[in-house]
Amino acid sequence: MPRLSAAQRHTIRFTLNGQPVQGEAEPRLLLTDFLRHVLGATGTHVGCEHGVCGACTVQIDGSPARACLTLAVQVEGSDIRTVEALAPAPGRLSILQEAFRRHHALQCGFCTAGILMSLDAFLRAQPDADEAALRDLLSGHLCRCTGYAPIIAAALDAAARLRETAHA
Amino acid sequence: MDSPGDKWVGQSLPRFEDAALLTGRGRYFDDCGAPPGTLHAAILRSPHGHALIEAIDTAAARALPGVAAVLTGEDIRTSTTSLVVGVKAPMECWPIAVERVRYVGEPVVLVVATDRYVAEDALDLIEVRYTPLPAVTDPVVALTPEAPVLHDGLKGNLASERRFRYGDPEAAFASAAHRIAIDVTYPRSACTPIECYGVLADYDPGEDSYDVFANFQGPFSIHAVIARALRVPGNRLRLRTPPDSGGSFGVKQGVFPYIVLMAAAARACGRPVKWVEDRLEHLAASSVATNRVTRLEAAVTADGIITALDWDQLEDCGAHLRAPEPATLYRMHGNMTGAYAVRNVAIRNRVVLTNKAPTGLNRGFGGPQVYFALERLVQRIALTLGLDPLDVIRRNLVPTSAMPYRTASGALLDSGDYATAMETALREGRHDELLRRRDAARAEGRPYGIGYTAVVEPSVSNMGYITAVLTPAERKRAGPKNGAQATATIQCDAVGSVSVHVASVPQGQGHRTVLAQVVADELGLRPQDIRVVTDIDTAKDAWSIASGNYASRFAPAVAGVARIAAQQLRTRLQRIAAPLLNVPPDDVVLAHGKLHARGNADNALPFARVASSPHWAPGTLPAEDSAPLRETAWWTPPELTAPTEADEVNSSLCHGFIFDFCGVEVDRVTGQVRVDRYVTMHDCGTVLHPGMVAGQVTGGFAHALGAALYEAHSYAPDGSFQTGTFADYLVPTVMEVPAPLILHHESPSPFTPLGAKGVGEGNCMSTPVCIANAVADALGLHDVSLPLLPATLARHLHGAEPGAPAVAPPQGERTLRGEGEARVAAPREKVWAMLLDPEALMAIIPGAHAIQRTSPTAYRAEVTLGIGPVKGRYRVTLSLADLDEPSALTLSGSAAGALGFGQGRGQVTLREADGSTVIAYHYEAAVGGKVASIAGRLLDGATRVIIGQFFAALARQAAPRQPWWQRLLHRLGLHA
Amino acid sequence: MKPPKFDYVSAETLDEALATLRAEGEGARIIAGGQSLLPMLNMRLARPAVLVDIMRIAALAETTKQNGTLRIGAGVRQATLQAHPNLHPLLAAALPWVGHAQTRSRGTLCGSVAHADPSAEIPLVLLALQGDILLRSARRTRRVAAADFFIGMMQTARQEDELIEAICLPQPRPGEGYAFREVGRRHGDFAIVACAAVAHEAGVRLAIGGVADHPAARDLPADSAHWPEALDAFAHALPARDDLHATAEYRRQLVRKLGHQVMQEAAACRA
Ligand SMILES: Cc1cc2nc3c(=O)[nH]c(=O)nc-3n(C[C@@H](O)[C@H](O)[C@H](O)COP(=O)(O)OP(=O)(O)OC[C@H]3O[C@@H](n4cnc5c(N)ncnc54)[C@H](O)[C@@H]3O)c2cc1C
Ligand code: FES
Ligand code: FES
């Protein structure tokens, strides 16, 4: 790859939620800003820009990762999924999203997108995850509203339902 | 979901808010776009706790392409007026530093540019010259005569002092069997919503008016403060909020100084200006709860009945008294006796200013500080008198028969059955089993303790309580302040569908869902038929100074007034339908989307038809009902009267009751506290939505657990701020927060339309002290302070360290010390000569760019310093003293740059050792600014590295020709 | 909180990366997982002229077993290695403590070693197991023992133009036992004290992170009767620091008490 100059914007291409997308970015542009302000995908939130809060978590090639600790140029050619991809159809919610609604696992909802992206990837890889494993995963997210208990309840409920649908 | 069994209110409906929030379609501040041409702001902030601003050089920043404006305190001062200060004291409060900085993080320069990245580039180019002043961060020290004074007009740092006396405390103390006192300090913590502040401001010079969009949460009394600062009447400040907010917990009240700043910047640039606060800014300078030093003494009978309380509270509001402070100190004024019937009370309240960030609203607002003292005292009373703490609580609770109960200091406790709630909690929370658990743990040598608390949770603040900071005479002059206006508007459109608007500005509490439930019940509709709008536009909506989302006023006040508006609308609908149904209006029933005659459901009209009729056929309606259906209701509780001549203050309308107990275990090795079981009993009146009430309790509990065990907004004595990242300011994660057992006992409030009381803040008041009491019980501690640091608790467990170094450095001290040696293959004279030669020094100082000799023994240089990837450019001065040629000297230096500043002194000795020279040094250094706030964990080691580099370079330079073996080792990367 | 300007090179080959490092000198910074570098860039603590992304170099993304050692390439992410079948038990015990799942999915092992945070787990394990670091520059290739590599707070024996090509860990040996423990304020925080122990027939090797400016290891006798004294000496020898989250004394006490427990555990799993 040629050297990308700091002073210019460069075309970045990747797959976002199954669709090819492209946009212009300086090398220093964070993936969070690229998603939100270049592509207009504002479902991914920003809470700290130093990797701790988890609000910006997206899936990069299937794994949950911090968009605030990723440069847009780094994901050239990658497969990115964000919260906008989770619902099966407009007006419908996924099993995981439904569980969050049922258990009141969100209040302000600002942390929620990141949490959903972590859980979505994790439950796909480890459908039998127990509470300890879910807590360990979710320790990478700060939520200031819920006190976490309903989030754990929703995650366990979603895991059980996902297992059922997988067996059905 | 169709017809409700009984009522919608009281059911845990799924929230209408959630579908959008779960699919990434929320509309938070930064999702709402900005007009074309909007510029972006970034703020240069003070690295010093206290310093004079000598000069600000903005030329390079202005010259950077993309930069539209660079504004300093002087610029803002000319276009705005100081923010009003809530006490009668000669001081100003600017949203940006003017002449002097008083806390780390205080805005100093505002840059406006085409995007945030460029704006931050420009910040790097600004040079500010400061003269540091001594700082004071301890509120007690701040009151001493030697303390540096923050605001010259004040003479000292005391901003306000008032004494209060209710009943006859002196007599009660004189005749008391026991006087039992406690001294406590409560630290600073903050609720840190995950979304930070955001402001988008525009100015129209033609009309001299501002249009501001910000994630402000209220109270809208602040609208008046902003308008005044911007020198416009209220109708020329349009303030709008986004539909969604990423949490607030009080904190987003504190965005208002930035509204003033961005509005002023928009005016200066002639373009809209947008600013999104980042987390470093938020932690350093948004809104943090006050820290408080309290001495509380009780007069107590032999069997533990408290007959009098004597409070001495010293409130630390930080560097500026920012509206509505010192409200934190007065919010609890009516209920300073907590859940207890104590008739004699003395209070001294003092407010002090220190070199820390200004304080403001935070969940619990004033409650955590008060109850930490009061409930620690109750435990102390039990211990002193050899009583069961539960018995001390029982004997002092306000009796049910006394409700509503007027407290000594003027609050009217609206309802409650404290004793029953407490006994129910003990039973359902299996207290007896917890006692056995403690016994079992202790038998195995595991430190285990139980804590209790009983608190009264106030909600719906009286807008007049803060005037208790003024004397009755001052209040008289200012005019009475009281009440808590709430408003709701309901309207029916041309197809008869119903919209509700309130000025409640929710921050995630599901207001839209609850309001739909409330209104649906009154109108015989389904909640999903009703659309609720909760964002506010001060230019178009009904609002009052009390509007907003604070003081837990939603359920008691806002939901209540929505019901009143719905009832008004219902009355009109009944009047319109009555002639059509041929029944009197009172016999028109609204149910299942219809209006029908009482007792005859077939004699019915569709709701939509009646509700839309004034739009389509006003001529067929009586004149009084011909206007389209739009009802705005206002409600303010008559109980919220102004403070009396005798300083009695009914500070809040509702008073919920909480009784908590918990069991904790302290790890014998690590000193870490594990909350084993937590039981929290709430009486918050009528529960409108059980799921959301549970959410408020678990959320508040998590905040409180954080305050008890992890969170502290820390400053070093020199004013350096130490918790500038989420890696230092420790917000608990899912691993740290257990789920509490939540119990309810409902005593509806007689003063609110729905019988509801606030519930969101109580655990922030009850839980920190409950955990502290449990840890004190576990370890037999006399004094505990928050947060309960494992390192501190471990000292009690481990005892004295074997062979500990004689003088342990005092905790919290920030001087970095170190020593080292470098061996140089050169004679002493040569090394000495180098230290006095600028050119040689230039080569020694790692990364020196330009070195100048400013006197025979002083140098100035530009230096790039760093470790690993962390690099920054600094202006360095060095001076040599105590020259004792060629064997000793003292090297003093200071450095300042974008990453912070440092000062240090080192004693250097040169010793001859077989042909070479041993340079020995020991140093003391103090480092502050950005690096201290965000990389504190690494500072000591980093300083060591940099100073080591200096002497290693000196050694290399003095002996340019290394022996071959050293060169070889060096090449292998094995240099010592 | 936005990064300063820098150029960006995504190297396709090792040579390309090394050539850029050589040409740019100290202005160049390697970016691997970015989980330590990006926070520093966002806070503008670091100001590289050019970032050299090494994650597209296929040759670096390999983990291979070679005569008794596991060679972990610079492109291997922490999460990828966690799923490796031949993971050393000590590393397996330590990896879950490195940040969170969401940072391990990006962060590399070699990046952690290069960064040399005094509390980092991976350097600690490398030191406990007496692993090696393979360094490569346009000029040469060399191998440095972990004990010689970590020399200070974020200071290593790596030269500006060198890249860590891989780290090498010995494979578990029969008769050895391992244990790992760490204490932080919250789960996922950098360690206040981290202990890794390797018990073998002749004694126990204990490595401590989070206390001194870099991880430190000592070999203690097998007989646990000598441990308290040896641990006390070890604790005093480490230049422990006070910081916001813990005192130096607390750190030393944990070296004694936690160190003891960890050695016991390691010895127990040997049996
Ligand atoms: C919230 C959070 C929590 C964390 N907690 C922990 C923790 O508990 N323990 C822990 O150990 N770490 C922790 N980390 C850091 C860890 O996640 C990083 O992965 C690791 O420190 C660096 O690996 P990286 O691949 O991300 O390196 P990068 O960030 O890409 O690089 C780090 C440094 O190493 C250099 N570098 C990288 N690769 C090489 C190479 N091959 N050769 C030469 N130089 C190289 C870079 O130039 C840079 O200076 C945490 C990070 C975050 C964001
Ligand atoms: S914004 Fe990325 S982790 Fe907080
Ligand atoms: S729901 Fe508000 S931060 Fe999690």
Residue B186, SS3 per DSSP: strand
- The reply to whether B784 and B723 lie within a common domain is yes
pLDDT value of position C198: 98
Query: How confident is the model at residue B88, as a pLDDT?
Result: 83
C236-247 confidence digits (pLDDT tens): 999 998 888 999
Q: How far apart are CA B394 and CA B422, in angstroms?
A: 8
Judgement on whether residues B329 and B372 belong to the same structural domain of the protein: yes
Q: Report if residue B810 sits inside a domain.
A: no
Q: Hey, which CATH number is domain C61-170, 3.40.640.10, 3.30.465.10, 3.30.530.80, 3.30.420.40?
A: 3.30.465.10
% of chain B exceeding 70 in pLDDT: 96
> Which pLDDT score, from 0 to 100, does residue B275 have?
98
Establish if B409 belongs to a structural domain. yes
The answer to whether residues B303 and B410 belong to one domain is yes
| Residue B179 and residue B128 in one domain | no
Q: Are residues B499 and B443 in the same domain?
A: no
The residues, any chain, with a CB within 8 Å of residue A116's CB and separated by 6 or more, are: A83, A86, A96, A97, A100, B22
What is the domain range of residue B200? 32-133+194-247+251-285
The pLDDT assigned to B942 comes to 78
**B397 lies in a domain?**
yes
Mean pLDDT for B367-388 is 98
Cβ–ligand 3 distance for A144 under 6 Å, the answer: yes
Using the Cβ of B797 and the Cβ atoms of chain C, whether some distance falls under 8 Å is answered with no
pLDDT at B960: 55
DSSP 8-state class, residue B644: P
Q: Which long-range contacts (CB under 8 A, 24 or more apart) does A17-23 make?
A: A17/A80, A17/A81, A17/A82, A17/A84, A17/A85, A18/A85, A23/A72
Residue B810: pLDDT band (50, 70, 90) is: very low
CA pair distance C162, B278, nearest whole angstrom: 35
ipTM > 0.90 (yes/no): yes
State whether residue C39 sits within 8 Å of chain A by CB: yes
- Name which residue sits closest to atom 4 of ligand 3, judged by CA: A143
Q: Which amino acid is at B511?
A: H
Least confident of A150-154, B356-360, B535-539, C23-27: C23-27
Closest atom of ligand 2 to A66 CA is 2
User: Chain A within 8 Å of C13 (Cβ-Cβ)?
Assistant: no
pLDDT value of residue B976: 40
The ranges assigned to domains in chain C are 7-53, 61-170, 177-270
Question: H or E element: which one contains C258?
Answer: helix C248-270
First to last CA, chain B: 76
Which ligand is nearest to the Cα of residue C45, counting in written order?
1
**Is pLDDT of C261 > 60?**
yes
C56-113 pLDDT tens trace = 999 999 999 988 899 999 999 999 999 998 899 999 999 999 999 999 999 999 999 9
Is the pLDDT reported for residue B505 higher than 60? yes
Is C2 in contact with B671 (Cβ distance < 8 A)? Answer: no
Assigned domain for B64 exists: yes
Q: What is the mean predicted confidence (pLDDT) over C252-257?
A: 97
B4 CA to middle of ligand 2, Å? 42
Q: Are B602 and B654 members of one domain?
A: no
Interface test with C, best of A26, A63, A111, A143 (most C CBs within 10 A): A63
Residue type, C3: P
Query: Which of C10, C20, C31, C102 is the best residue to mutate to test the A interface, defined by the most A CB atoms within 10 Å of its own CB?
Result: C102
Pairwise pLDDT comparison (A10 vs B924), residue with the higher score:
A10
Task: Flag whether B804 is in a domain.
Answer: no
Would you tell me how many other CB atoms lie within 10 Å of the CB of residue C15? 11
Whether chain C has a CB inside 8 Å of the CB on B807: the answer is no
Q: How far is A35 from chain C (nearest CA, A)?
A: 15
Please give the model's pTM, rounded to 2 decimal places: 0.96
For the cut 90, the answer to whether the pLDDT of residue B931 exceeds it is no
The encoded tokens of residue B111 equal 């840059």
The reply to whether A124 touches chain C by the CB within 8 Å rule is no
| The ligand 3 atom nearest the CA atom of B194 | 3
Q: Of ligand 2's atoms, which has the minimum distance to the CA of residue A49?
A: 1
Q: Are residue B848 and residue B711 in the same domain, yes or no? A: no
Whether B956 is covered by a domain: the verdict is yes
Where does C7-53 sit in CATH, by number? 3.30.43.10
Q: Do B698 and A149 touch (CB under 8 A)?
A: yes
Fold of C177-270: Enolase-like; domain 1 (3.30.390)
* pLDDT-derived band at B834, boundaries 50, 70, 90: confident
Helix, strand, coil share of chain A (percent; to 5): 40, 15, 45
Chain A: closest CA distance from residue C27 (Å) = 13
Looking up residue B243, the CATH number of its domain turns out to be 3.90.1170.50
Output the DSSP codes for B475-538: HHHH-------EEEEEEE-TT--EEEEES---SSS-HHHHHHHHHHHHHT--GGGEEEE---BT
Note whether residue B559 is domain-resident: yes
**Whole-number pLDDT of residue B938:** 76
Average pLDDT, chain C: 96
Nearest-CA residue of chain B relative to C151? B976
Q: Is residue B69 part of a domain?
A: yes
- Pocket test of ligand 1: the residue of C18, C36, C80, C126 to mutate, having most ligand atoms within 8 Å of its CB, is C36
Inform me whether the C-beta atom of residue C192 falls under 8 Å from chain A C-beta atoms. Answer: no
The pair of three-digit structure tokens given for residue B183, joined into one six-digit string: 């001294």
Q: How far is the CA of A148 from the centre of ligand 3 (A)?
A: 9
The total domain count for chain B is 4
Handedness of CA B25, B30, B32, B37 (dihedral sign): negative
Q: Do C244 and B809 touch (CB under 8 A)?
A: no
What type of residue is A88? P
Closest C-alpha residue for ligand 1 atom 2: C99
Looking at the structure, do residues B89 and B229 belong to the same domain, yes or no?
yes
**Quick check: CB of C111 below 6 Å from ligand 1?**
yes
The reply to whether B155 and B216 lie within a common domain is: no
Q: What is the pLDDT of residues B72-129, one digit of tens each?
A: 999 999 999 999 988 888 899 999 999 999 999 999 999 999 999 999 999 999 999 9
Q: A-chain residues within 8 Å CB-CB of B735?
A: 135-136, 139
CA neighbor of C86 nearest in space, from C76, C100, C98, C74? C76
Tell me the domains of chain A and their CATH numbers.
10-85 (3.10.20.30), 95-167 (1.10.150.120)
Residue of A nearest to B731 (CA): A142
| pLDDT (tens digit per residue) in A15-35 | 999 999 999 999 999 999 999
- Ligand 1, atom 38, residue with closest C-alpha: C111
